[in-house]
Structure 1
Amino acid sequence: MLLLILTCLLICAALMALVWAWQRRRGVASGLTQEKALYTGFVADLERRQARGEIDDIQAQEERAQAARALLKASETQAAVAPVKPLYGYVALGVTAILSLAVYLMIGHPDQPDQPYKQRLQTWTRLAQTNPDVLPPLAMAAVLRQGQAGHANDVTYWLFLGRIDMLAGNNYAGAQDYEKARALSPGTFVAWSELGEALTFVGGGTSGPEAVQAFEKALQRDPNDARAHYYLGQQALAEGRYEAARGHYEAALKTMAPDDVSRPQVLEALNSIGQAEAAAKAMNARISGMVSGLEAQLKADPENADGWARLLRSYDVLGDTAAHDRARAAMQAHYANRPEVIADILTKAQTRVGSEGEAK
């Protein structure tokens, strides 16, 4: 009981310190003002790097556009916050602490130690046998894992455990469960889209090669697998393959019921394609214009090694492999007797946009 009281007092003291610190910061500029200051400083630094020749015009425009989009997003989400009197904050803190202590004393058991995990697991097991619907996924997963030894070769067991682990947020454990089920019955394994989803979650939302392969196998088994279509659409959208993404999203929607809870998410993804495609086209158009000017400069002055690197990198951004190969052949022909210059140009051409400033 004494420990509980001390903990409550420490929490109250910490909250009061936070309120005091917040009151001290009332004169600080708003979040939008800080974003504008950061943007101004970034643009100034960008112009200095551009003047020193550390980045070219294409890179400068790309970084400036990215910073402007970040500022625009901040301005759109900035909300006005009405000032609050300090007294209200202190009163609210006191009331919260008193009510919390009173509720705990009424319904809690401060005189008893915490229930050991083994005892809690026994309670969960009884609930799973009598009323499993009230058991949260995390507790259900713990109950099911008690049967690993007895069901080591049971495909159905591992599939069910995988679904429960995913519901509980145990993404890595869920992926392992599905992998075990697949290893036990590779010829009859059917949960390919579930395995792909688990691997995607483990990858932080990105479908790696293994996840993509799982989704593709899911579609080979069932062309109407909405889950596989959705994640393959997400991957295609991230890679700029807009028609492929649109096809996957539309295929997913055709197989979904009108009241499917995932339907709004797929619709939102489908509607985002147009905006992403328009932004990509606009950026490619700007880069294409800059590339035309750069090509003219290199024809007049082929000794511009940095210009060749920028040209090759620009073609990579545009995805124009044929033009990239032609420019590379022309550059190699010009520097045929200077292989060290060719190597330097190719290294610079592979440098990620904006990394020159980071390196310095």
Structure 2
Amino acid sequence: MARVKLGEIYSDSGRIGDAIREHLKALEISPGNAEAYRSLGQDYSAAGRYSEAEAAYLEAVKRRPTDWLAHVVLGIFYYQRGRYPEARSAYENALKLTPDNDVVIRNLAGVHMRLGQYAEASTLIQKTLATGAGTRGYNMLGIAYYYQRRFREASSALESSLDIDNSIYVTWGNLGTVYRWLPGSEAKARAAFQRAVELAEKAQRITPADNNIHANLAEYHAKLGEKKQALAEIQAIPDSARRPYMARIALAYELIGDRKRAIETVRSQVVDASALSDLRNDPDLEKLWNDQEFQSVIRTSQSIPRH
């Protein structure tokens, strides 16, 4: 209806308050309009009104349970909040309605990755390859294989990703990480990391305040044995902004031989399911994971209420 479309126009232009008003008016006229509820959920989410957003998304699903997109949008909301089991459930409901939908399959695979369920993730991603999956699919498959210690399969998947697009620095970094675990591939690993650094620094010149690039560069420099550069990238990330990159920062510290700061990095944060999965399953962090002090920190962090 017209008010739903007008609300979407307001939302797209950043006028969230106006978008909410229009979608509420649409629901006054048509209380059962599932599309209006879905759009209202997106508005509330953009406004940081998450409890109201969740209620709107759930109402959209209730009003039109056969709409796979409503389940996907709900899953995205849960994923962004770190509520991975609920996101998995929403995506599974969507997949029942559209079993061959690559978007749903990849989203569900991503949730399995965040939960440390790498075998399930790789099985799902394989389904998308038959329909011409792009670089993202091969990249995800490479990471899933890496965490399963299936290093040769991981390198093959990542090389396939680069065959499609060799300009993505993260793919080069992931490939370098895998090569480090393949005997005789030390030179290939170094070359991959150097290419990753080159491309990441190029991206950094465009978005110098991107903390994700800083975190990735810290990891790459650490894996190259470049301690000074790794520390500089870590220091470029404000303390208040480090939580999403905690596992990578801890990894960088561990690789440059500073376990004390690796442990302190984790001690200072509440460890969510995604970070816990990375810390537990990364082959490069096996010794840190088995450290008694580190295990004590993990247990303490898991007992702290999240806000």
Q: TM-score, normalised by structure 1?
A: 0.36
Q: TM-score, normalised by structure 2?
A: 0.42
Q: Which has the higher contact order (CA 8 A, sep 6+)?
A: 1
Larger radius of gyration: 1
